[in-house]
A and B are shown apart, each in its own frame.
Chain A
């Protein structure tokens, strides 16, 4: 088994790929393989990591042309072809380099983000879109003494979106983000929807209106890659579809009124 890794740092004319033979350990993850690479082959490689347990969202990268968390992706499963995820194509995930998926793992930085060094990308614009959605709870009422009551049946839908770990895999898999750098992207819109459906928030359409612009709800073309790559099963597509439906309803009502 080999690891084929994208290498780039400032000053290089173009990126190169380094290939490293892994010590055979069937249970190793891609993150574990990167540590092997760092410790035994070249300690100048740069990649982000933190929890190694698929909860913090730090180590999202492009593995065998699919955005995934390196920490939860098993090398053996990749080699055996078990982790194939069919994605709608866009230039960044097309064949850019020769690699043999039967014996190599191809590791590259997340697409749609500027590369800073090796596997590390610049997340500034990603977090700017996060900022645009005003991601802070805006309560409907004055602060009560005890907890606000919440119907437990409202929670499952809310959880779908609070589960987002902001890893950026969805952003990196989105054909629209690839061609329209102004599109807010799936993660930010899912976050916006999370606040919109929180029953404790002020009722109304303020949240929806915030992204009622061409770069917001309306830029999505429903390729569905975001949902397919999300390590937490968050469905930005559903949020976007529902938001549009609700905005259309509002518009229809407005038109009906004289």
Chain B
């Protein structure tokens, strides 16, 4: 590992600490100019940019970077390359990409950020190609593109159905080649501030259980989403919203947390993703009567309407009794033929066989909607900067607001790589090189975290905290799922509060330090409970239906009162909800019709 490692005896300059901690264990402090928290596509792309600019950057990651959730992305990455013409023979453009994105967002996206992403899209896909990513190709050798939901052109560049895997491996290879340090299996426990600036963080080295300090001049959050707060989710088990919780505790606001995307087609039972690419290739949804029900909900776009529309349609079919027992519909690919399925969708075929015992070549795949993506996140401006000087965020954990109230398929991989690079550029431009790095605040922060862990471990209640984890995920899916209403959400909020209260008395049974995964999960759940409350309050206060946020008691979109971003911030133990305007621009809000 690179960087300057300073061993400090933590009680040296701090009388309080001496008094509190009694023993004098040693803590390690690492120093880097830029710390990137998270090793997925965003974190890796940013780290490469930081290294190429000659800055000393490092990644801190809960898992090995190749185990990041980005690896699971299947469908593709949008860019108006124009390699495949539209139905009318016309060529795609970044403006059309921007239009589809803004319309898909139900007009809640900030249009300046959307414009930037769509303009940068083509060079971003090509940049990955130049780094060695293996993309699927057309007969003429160019990068292949396929249709995705809510898009007017076949715009989604793909690598069969392993786009995330191919892109992540490519970026990891580049990272490896540059010998950029990665603090692997470190769980970040707090962001540290000094004189109004974020100057590092603390993290538990999971392998030893020791708390380390990281002193830096800028911190980039790239921690991904929080899907695991919902019982049915396509997300990796590690997606517990840790970055969001860290930001909240540092009094950095979160934005639009009520907007949670439910993917229409997740495998019944395990909720593993069945890529939108399956419908892009011609897959159709059928109810228990064998009807192609999307004809009734989106007569023009059919099965390739945006995700919020299709997810609601499936859920309605199930609720009205036209689903199968257990609550699912069928995704039929059989008519595509074995060759096409094996060429374009080999990964999802394997998943269907492994996890549902169904071969899509012969039989339809049972699917149901499940949580998939978090449109909301850490509130950042168009540069990825938060209100806390020195703290930046990009990728799914951030809400730069390119997805607004609903994300289009193929836009999230794009966002990770575009903004991984652009936000790193901003960090380089804000060049923190001349700042002094003071390690005193980091030392104090280490002591705080050790005390906090000590307090948790000393709790006498032996209740099983894993039950709280399971309970919160059920509440979130049942009360804050695809369809929401005031009564259900109010009940849900009370239940969340009760769980927070119960949880505050619990403790992991395992008290050992090395590899205490129980403690790590405990800390994850602590953050999840806080985020759950924020999602709940944001959703209760938004009395309209927009994008993924569908309220039975307020079925219409209300631009007069709610064409605005929800901003939530932790004020002591309380959550304050305020609003700020959406940045409009090229496209005037109008009703979405598909």
Return A200 CB to nearest CB of chain B, in Å. 7
Across the interface, name the chain B residue whose C-beta is closest to A144. B130
Beta-carbon contact of A136 and B132 below 8 Å: yes
- Asked whether B176 is an interface residue with its Cβ less than 8 Å from the other chain, the reply is yes
Return B453 CB to nearest CB of chain A, in Å. 15
- Asked whether B383 is an interface residue with its Cβ less than 8 Å from the other chain, the reply is no
Q: Which residues of B from 150 to 179 have beta carbons under 8 Å from A? A: 160, 162, 165-166, 169-170, 173-174, 176-177
- Among the 9-residue stretches A85-93, A97-105, A154-162, the one with 4 or more Cβ atoms under 8 Å from chain B is A154-162
Chain A residues within an 8 Å CB radius of B350: 54
Contact flags B66-79 to A (C-beta < 8 A → 1, else 0): 11110110000000
Return A106 CB to nearest CB of chain B, in Å. 21
Beta-carbon contact of A155 and B63 below 8 Å: no
Q: Which residues of B from 107 to 157 have beta carbons under 8 Å from A? A: 125-126, 129-132, 134-144
Chain A residues within an 8 Å CB radius of B504: none
Query: Which A residues have a C-beta under 8 Å from some C-beta of B?
Result: 9-10, 27, 38-40, 42-58, 72, 116-118, 120, 123, 130-131, 134-137, 139, 143-144, 146-152, 155, 158-159, 162-163, 165-166, 198, 200
**How many of chain B's residues touch chain A, expressed as a range?**
35 or more
User: In the complex the two chains form, what is the Cα distance from A46 to B209 in whole Å?
Assistant: 13
- Asked whether B594 is an interface residue with its Cβ less than 8 Å from the other chain, the reply is no
Return B90 CB to nearest CB of chain A, in Å. 20
Chain A residues within an 8 Å CB radius of B72: 51, 53, 55-56
User: In the complex the two chains form, what is the Cα distance from A151 to B134 in whole Å?
Assistant: 11
Q: A44-B510, A56-B236, A158-B134 are in contact. Are A50 and B63 (CB under 8 A)?
A: yes
Q: Which residues of B from 33 to 66 have beta carbons under 8 Å from A? A: 63-64, 66
User: In the complex the two chains form, what is the Cα distance from A198 to B133 in whole Å?
Assistant: 10
Beta-carbon contact of A116 and B207 below 8 Å: yes
Beta-carbon contact of A152 and B176 below 8 Å: no
User: In the complex the two chains form, what is the Cα distance from A45 to B131 in whole Å?
Assistant: 40
| Neighbour of B237 across the interface among A27, A50, A150, CB < 8 A | A50
Beta-carbon contact of B237 and A51 below 8 Å: yes
User: In the complex the two chains form, what is the Cα distance from A44 to B514 in whole Å?
Assistant: 10
Across the interface, name the chain A residue whose C-beta is closest to B69. A51
Beta-carbon contact of A147 and B126 below 8 Å: yes
**How many A-B pairs with Cβ below 8 Å?**
146
Beta-carbon contact of B508 and A43 below 8 Å: yes
Can you list 15 A-B pairs with a CB-CB distance of less than 8 A?
A43-B466, A44-B518, A48-B63, A49-B238, A50-B63, A52-B237, A56-B69, A56-B236, A139-B132, A143-B130, A144-B130, A150-B135, A152-B138, A155-B136, A158-B134
Contact flags B268-281 to A (C-beta < 8 A → 1, else 0): 01101100000000
User: In the complex the two chains form, what is the Cα distance from A54 to B74 in whole Å?
Assistant: 13
Beta-carbon contact of A72 and B355 below 8 Å: yes
User: In the complex the two chains form, what is the Cα distance from A159 to B509 in whole Å?
Assistant: 45
Beta-carbon contact of A147 and B63 below 8 Å: no
Chain B residues within an 8 Å CB radius of A147: 125-126, 129-130, 135, 142-143
| Neighbour of B176 across the interface among A51, A55, A136, A198, CB < 8 A | A136
Across the interface, name the chain A residue whose C-beta is closest to B175. A136
Chain B residues within an 8 Å CB radius of A50: 63, 67-69, 236-238
Q: A43-B509, A44-B512 are in contact. Are A38 and B137 (CB under 8 A)?
A: no
- Asked whether B516 is an interface residue with its Cβ less than 8 Å from the other chain, the reply is yes
Chain A residues within an 8 Å CB radius of B93: none
Beta-carbon contact of B63 and A152 below 8 Å: no
User: In the complex the two chains form, what is the Cα distance from A44 to B513 in whole Å?
Assistant: 10
- Asked whether B517 is an interface residue with its Cβ less than 8 Å from the other chain, the reply is yes
Beta-carbon contact of B134 and A152 below 8 Å: no
Return A99 CB to nearest CB of chain B, in Å. 24
Q: A55-B71, A56-B67 are in contact. Are A117 and B514 (CB under 8 A)?
A: yes
